[in-house]
Structure 1
Amino acid sequence: MYVDREEKILVMVRLRPLNKKEIAAKEATDWECINDTTILYRNTLRQGSNIPSAYSFDRVYGGECPTRQVYEDGTKEIALSVVKGINCSIFAYGQTSSGKTYTMTAITEFAVADIFDYIFQHEERAFSVKFSAIEIYNETIRDLLSSDGTSLRLRDDPEKGTVVEKAREETLRDWNHFKELLSVCAAQRKIGETSLNERSSRSHQIIKLTVESCACELLGKDNSTTLMASVSFIDLAGSERASQTMSRLKEGCHINQSLLALGTVIRKLSKGRQGGHICTLSPARSHVELTKNTLSFASCAKEVTTKAHINVVMSDKALLKQLQCELARLETELRNATSNCDCAMKKDIQIQKVWFCNCVMG
């Protein structure tokens, strides 16, 4: 990842193997990864098919590929940019039962392990890592680290952007503490049985790590500066057809409505405006339309561009000194501008006098 340079969002697609239910139903496999970047629809000649024969992305993975490889091939670099002061997000999109939560849980654990390794290898800097987690369920935001079930509100912060009010934040002590918090989140997240999955995630989950660091030799000094950034791991609820959610109509409508809104944002961003994105798929013929929709969404996402920049937070005294210097510079510019203006006015007066004399004498 290059700082101050526009780059496309990294889009990766993971095609899982047929699951036990699909194998028992003798489902046909309609999708195939034919190389590292292309996924092929094998049933293009099917009567009435309106599905493109192939889709291309940054990387595609077949069912035999381990999650570790998915992580190492691109999401690792994105996640580790947080220790250098660059905000980033990794999110998973796809239908229910396609493997989103399975993939995102492993990627989150790999990333946190690498962040801790980075911290241990850079003893010249003092680090602080904070953990928070929320879920969005039926348009309500809830803190996954709190058991009281209170809904939280969003507010706009002039420095941090949109933030969730009163969301609990834990400073991570070590790997075991992280795993403990991850278990708390998993236990509290809304799940339910659908026609595709006995334990389907019915909410959007956002796990956020905020990493702050400062040179040890400057820690606590007036001229200290801090790098501060966040990485968000976003596990979206599964997209579904309405016919599959009739027994959970309100819930399904909210899920699909929010995913539709996300899709609209992605499509608009892909049309010339300015992370990492993973889509998960089922190869089964019965899910072909859902898979097509996921791939269409991913195709729009790969056209979005972002521009990374380093977030530096100055100490109050260092910031005050910088502001005083800026104020002095502006005052100097104002004095010079006033002086130049006075000279210009004097010239205008002289010109007017000469013109008047000429008129009188003429």
Structure 2
Amino acid sequence: MEKAHMSVDREEKILVLVRLRPLNKKEIAANEATDWECINDTTIMYRNTLRQGSNIPTTYSFDRVYGGECPTRRVYEDGTKEIALSVVKGINCSIFAYGQTSSGKTYTMTGITELAVADIFDYIFQHEERAFSVKLSAIEIYNETIRDLLNSDGTSLRLRDDPEKGTVVEKATEETLRDYNHLKELLSICQAQRKIGETWLNERSSRSHQIIKLTVESCVRELLGKENSTTLMASVSFIDLAGSERASQTMSGGGARLKEGCHINRSLLALGTVIRKLSKGRQGGHINFRDSKLTRILQPCLGGTARTAIVCTLSPARSHVELTKNTLSFASCAKEVTTKARVNVVMSDKALLKQLQCELTRLQTELRNAASNCDCAATARKKDVLIQKMEKQIEELRKERDLAHSRLEASKVYITTTGSFPITFLYRFC
């Protein structure tokens, strides 16, 4: 099958949400002061304005900000829900959490992931006119090494540049989801496999970047196997980044924590550089997504063709004011980044063959017309160039047509409908 893209003319800024958690037990025990406050739904304020030499702005504004008592469901409902559900309409999308260690990223992303997948399943139940297939993969980037979280063998995975899909992770396990409970089982496996370590700020700190990817394919049931059948195919990625740390905190954890912290900070620095340049548009200069494996994987989410939401999590404690400021600076740049979403349509071999034949006929007609209109030498030279170009296009189209035709002849359609949807909803598309 061949993928085609249909523009939906949806140019938009990255959605940026900020979540300020309450003081945790360790901060309360240390009698920490609270320096940050959400003064309305879009603005967070720095309260310690009497701090000498402070270069921190008094207020920051974003799409939405949330105080310590706000539940995760509200964070999800206010913006990330709409973006996550774009996947069932054939639009790639991503939601990721950014912030310092112990600021609540994993807690937030776990809740958003479970709520989003539940809503995707609800959508599927309500649209019986379409046949759906939902698959899940999960990886982590630990010390610049990519590991499959659904496979316990610990093998390092490689990145590959695909002309159609962009950067892909080779040989990553992909599980077809049966139902919501199956998802919960797989997320538990991912959590058990992920690298966790004790740090100065957090007894169970995530030491890797985790990416949970859900791929959704759907096709109108009545058109399965027919010439005009097309499939919508898109993915939603839930990205829980490792937390940023100060160098002194990293060094206090010993050799392993130091190595981890260096890799984490280096990849987050590369991400920050990419975001800063993207926020400046054409004035930002060359953007090197290849500086880290994280930015290579996130390239389609940042200034690409995916809808993206970023949830920045903060600690209100005075001792973390510099890390909080850095997170807010990152968020301020991120809200200036523009993406252009598009619908991804996969054409059946029959539809592709028909399209290629029409295009071949059109070019052959233009070629005959061009050859018959060569009246003078100058025009003839221009026409010769045009004819050579068209002949090359025709030859390429013939090869594509022949390839599509051979696939069509060899293909067979199998449709499995074993029981009700809660048990299985796997379909194989053609």
TM-aligned CA deviation for residue 353 of structure 1: 32
Other-structure match for 1:347: 383
Equivalent residues of 2:277, 2:285 under 8 A apart: no
**Mapped partners of 2:337, 2:373: distance in 1:** 47
> Which residue of 1 is the match for residue 279 of structure 2?
270
CA contact (8 A) 2:370 2:387 kept: no
Shift in alpha-carbon separation, 1:244–1:221, aligned structure 2, 3 A: same
Structure-to-structure mapping, 1:21-100, within 5 angstroms: 21-100=26-105
User: What percentage of residue pairs aligned between the two structures are identical?
Assistant: 91
- The 1:349–1:94 alpha-carbon spacing in structure 2 relative to 1, beyond 3 Å, is closer
CA distance in 2, matches of 1:32, 1:351: 68
Q: CA RMSD in A?
A: 4.5
Q: Per the alignment, do residues 298 and 276 of structure 1 end up closer, same or farther by CA in structure 2, a change over 3 Å counting?
A: farther
Q: Which runs of 5+ in 1 are unaligned?
A: 355-362
**Cα distance, 1:220 vs. partner?**
2.1
The change in CA–CA distance for 1:50 and 1:121 in structure 2 (over 3 A counts) is same
Q: How far 1:338 sits from its partner (Å)?
A: 2.1
Question: Is the contact between residue 90 and residue 275 of structure 1 (CA under 8 Å) also seen in structure 2?
Answer: no
Q: How far apart, in 2, do the equivalents of 1:80 and 1:31 lie?
A: 32
Q: Is the 8 A contact 1:40 1:55 kept in 2?
A: yes
Structure 1 window deviating more from structure 2 (204-213 vs 275-284): it is 275-284
Deviation at 1:124, TM superposition (A): 0.1
Kept in 1: contact 2:367–2:387 (CA 8 A): no
2:171 alignment partner, SS class: coil
In the alignment, structure 2 segments of 5+ residues that lack a partner are: 1-5, 287-310, 391-430
Determine the C-alpha separation between the residues in 2 that align with 1:317 and 1:303: 43
1:339 shift after superposition: 2.1
- SS of residue paired to 1:39: strand
Q: Within the alignment, does 1:195 sit opposite 2:200 as a pair? A: yes
3-state SS of the aligned residue for 2:283? coil
Deviations 1:160-202 (A, max 9, x none): 1111000000000001100000000000000101111000000
Counterpart CA distance in 1 for 2:29 and 2:386 is 99
Deviation per CA, 1:114-151, whole angstroms, max 9, x where unpaired?
A: 00000000000000000000000000000000000000
Task: Please give the alpha-carbon distance, in whole angstroms, between the structure 2 residues aligned to 1:252 and 1:294.
Answer: 17
Please report how far the alpha carbon of residue 351 of structure 1 lies from its aligned counterpart in structure 2 after TM superposition: 25
Query: 3-state DSSP class of the match of 2:164?
Result: coil
Query: Partners in 2 of 1:204 and 1:66 — Cα distance?
Result: 24
Q: Which moved more, 1:319-328 or 1:225-234?
A: 319-328
* 1:179–1:350 distance in 2 versus 1, CA, 3 Å: closer
Distance 1:346 1:114 in 2: 58
Matched-pair contact (CA < 8 Å) for 1:39–1:54: yes
CA deviation string 1:298-351 (max 9, x = no partner): 000000001111000001121111011111111212222222223679999999
Question: Contact 2:150–2:189 (CA<8 Å) still a contact in 1?
Answer: yes
Higher mean alpha-carbon deviation, 213-222 vs 337-346, is at 337-346
SS in 2 for 1:251: helix
- Could you report, residue by residue, the CA deviation over 1:52-100 in whole angstroms, capped at 9, with x for unpaired residues? 1110000000001111000000000000000000001001000000000
Higher radius of gyration, 1 or 2 = 1
Distance 1:225 1:273, change over 3 A: farther
Task: Give the match's secondary structure for 2:80.
Answer: helix
State the SS of the aligned residue for 1:195.
Answer: coil
**Given that residues 138 and 212 in structure 2 are in contact (C-alpha distance below 8 angstroms), is that contact kept between their aligned partners in structure 1?**
yes
**Maintained 8 Å contact 1:9/1:276:** no
1:317 matched to 2:350? The reply is: yes
Match of residue 133, structure 2, among 122, 128, 133: 128
Question: Residues of 1 paired with 2:240 and 2:383: CA distance?
Answer: 69
Taking the aligned partners of 1:353 and 1:232, their CA distance within structure 2 comes to 41
Task: Say if 1:345 and 1:235 are closer, same or farther in 2 by CA, change over 3 A.
Answer: closer
Q: Is the 8 A contact 1:189 1:201 kept in 2?
A: yes
Length-normalised TM-score, structure 2: 0.78
Contact kept? 1:190, 1:203, Cα under 8 Å: yes
Query: In the alignment, is the contact (CA less than 8 A) between 2:140 and 2:146 conserved in 1?
Result: yes
Q: Distance in 2 between matches of 1:224 and 1:251?
A: 48
- With 43-52 and 297-306 compared, the bigger mean Cα shift is at 43-52
- Does residue 260 of the first structure (1) align with residue 260 of the second (2)? no
C-alpha deviation, 1:273, in angstroms: 5.4
Q: Which moved more, 1:324-333 or 1:233-242?
A: 324-333
Any conservation in 1 of the 2:131–2:221 contact (CA below 8 Å)? yes
Shifted more, 243-252 versus 97-106: the winner is: 243-252
Give aligned pairs, total. 354
Instruction: Flag as ranges the 4+ runs of structure 1 deviating above 6 A.
Output: 274-277, 343-354
Counterparts in 2 of 1:345 and 1:230: CA distance versus 1, 3 Å = closer
Q: Deviations over 1:249-284 (max 9, x none)?
A: 111000000000001111111112599991000000
- SS of equivalent to 2:242: coil
Which residue of structure 2 aligns with residue 334 of structure 1?
A: 367
